[in-house]
Amino acid sequence: MEPWVQRFLTSLRARRNASTHTQRAYQTDLAEFAAFWARRGGGAPAKLSRTHVRAYLAQLQTRMKGGRTPGPGLGRASVLRKVAALRSLCRWLREMGELKGDPFLNVPLPKPEKRLPRFLSGQEADVLLEKGAVGSAWTDLRDRALLELLYSAGLRRAEAAGISVPDLDFLSGTVRVFGKGSRERVVPVGDPALKALRAYLAARPRPVGTDRVEPLWINARGRRLSGDGLALLVRRSAKKAGLLKGLSPHALRHSFATELLGAGCGLRELQEMLGHKNIGTTQVYTHASLERLRETYSKSHPRSTAPKPE
């Protein structure tokens, strides 16, 4: 099975424009399945059946939090990712003619948890932007511009890391980004973010490296900042501001979406700005906004059951 896994991963990189993060996750998850397959006797992919899939799912469930396996256990999201990786492999094997039927057919799969996205309130976002990156060094200006842009445009981590200077249009107040599947979109950028970006670009040193185009975000060595490096800067800024532990760029994306929806932005417009392929993905923010509405109601309405401030 392992040679087929490697061929699939090569196909994932070449044909499907999968992100580096997805490639790493699939490689780890499918290596685990290949080891499971070897323990079950191995053989050609054509032997893979529903019996094997059910046994693999049962093993994953014993490793989940609260399962029989000692230790911290797997989270539901990790299990779902491993299942998705195996389903993608099986789909590709069918395309290659190495697998005749679908071994996942009629196999009950674990369902994802319905969790509201983590986001900052408007007040918390103000604290982050005011206290998360203070100072006049070019690195401070970079961190400030990064926070402003993430909050202003609702970008994914990989989208923000991939921005090059020509993608910014200061005249129209927009940025061009490439989302999942290399889908291109143009997103509006607010004036505070544009101002912070100008200050950062004027102060930073000249980038170095082999990029064909000039990267927007650079690290202390002058090279393009990676997605992991970008996430580290956000966490560090949140710690400076005394905010949520482990704050991620995705939390700022959720904050952006929740603020827009709460201000009356339509779902279709929000879907376009976030770069969601399906509007169902965007609809999760209606639940987040409803939670905010309930909280405001309980604090403010004279007939709510929550105690009122004196």
Q: Give the pLDDT of residue 296.
A: 57
CB neighbour list of residue 79: distance below 8 Å, 6 or more residues apart? 60, 61, 63, 64, 110
Query: What is the domain count for the chain?
Result: 2
- The verdict on 55 and 152 lying in the same domain is no
pLDDT at 310: 44
Report how far apart, in Å, the C-alpha atoms of 135 and of each of 130, 139, 143 are.
11, 9, 10
Domain containing residue 84: 2-95
- Residues 173, 263, single domain; the answer is yes
**Residue 164 lies inside a defined structural domain of this protein:** yes
Find tokens 């399962």 and name the residue.
67
Q: What is the pLDDT of residue 235?
A: 93
276 belongs to the catalytic site:
yes
Please pick, among 82, 157, 224, 253, the residue that the annotation labels catalytic: 253
- Spot the catalytic one: 26, 56, 151, 285: 285
- For residue 52, indicate whether it is catalytic: no
186 and 59 in a common domain: no
Which pLDDT does position 309 carry in this prediction? 46
Looking at the structure, tell me whether residues 140 and 81 fall in a common domain.
no
pLDDT at 22: 80
* Structural domain includes residue 109: no
Catalytic entry in 142, 156, 157, 224? 156
Q: Are residues 15 and 160 in the same domain?
A: no
139: CATH: 1.10.443.10
Q: Are residues 141 and 246 in the same domain?
A: yes
* Same-domain pairing of 289 and 191: yes
Residues 59 and 143 in one domain: no
- Told to judge if 253 belongs to the known catalytic residues of this protein, a careful annotator would answer yes
Task: Check if the beta carbon of residue 188 is closer than 8 Å to that of residue 273.
Answer: yes
Q: Which of 180, 185, 204, 223 is catalytic?
A: 180
- Bridge partners of 260, per DSSP, are none
What pLDDT shows up at residue 263? 79
Per-residue model confidence as pLDDT tens for the chain (310 residues)? 888 888 888 888 777 666 777 888 889 999 999 999 988 887 888 888 899 999 999 988 888 765 555 545 778 888 888 999 999 999 999 999 998 889 898 888 877 766 656 788 888 899 999 999 999 999 999 999 999 999 999 999 999 999 999 999 999 999 999 988 778 899 999 999 999 999 999 999 998 876 678 999 999 999 999 999 999 999 999 999 998 777 889 889 888 888 887 778 888 888 888 888 877 777 777 765 556 556 655 665 565 555 444 4
Q: Could you tell me if residue 48 is inside a domain?
A: yes
Mutual angle of helices 122-131 and 138-153, in 10-degree steps: 160
pLDDT of residue 291: 60
DSSP string, 85-127: HHHHHHHHHHHTTS--S-TTTT---PPPP--PPP---HHHHHH
Q: Are 63 and 196 part of one and the same domain?
A: no
- Is residue 103 one of the residues assigned to a domain? no
Residue 207, Ramachandran bin (φ over 0: left; ψ between -120 and 50: alpha; else beta): beta
Is 240 catalytic? The answer is: no
The pLDDT tens digits for 198-223 are 999 999 999 887 667 899 999 999 99
| pLDDT for position 172 | 93
User: What is the pTM assigned to this prediction?
Assistant: 0.62
Predicted local confidence at residue 303, as pLDDT: 58
Q: In what order do the strands lie in the sheet with 184-188?
A: 168-169, 174-178, 184-188
The CATH code of the domain that includes 67 is: 1.10.150
| pLDDT computed for residue 236 by the predictor | 94
pLDDT given for residue 116 in this prediction: 59
> Can you give the pLDDT at residue 264?
80
Active-site residue, from 144, 224, 250, 254: 250
Q: Does residue 112 belong to any structural domain of this protein?
A: no
From the candidates 82, 142, 224, 276, give the one annotated as an active-site residue.
276
Annotation marks residue 40 as catalytic:
no
Residue 156 annotated to the active site: yes
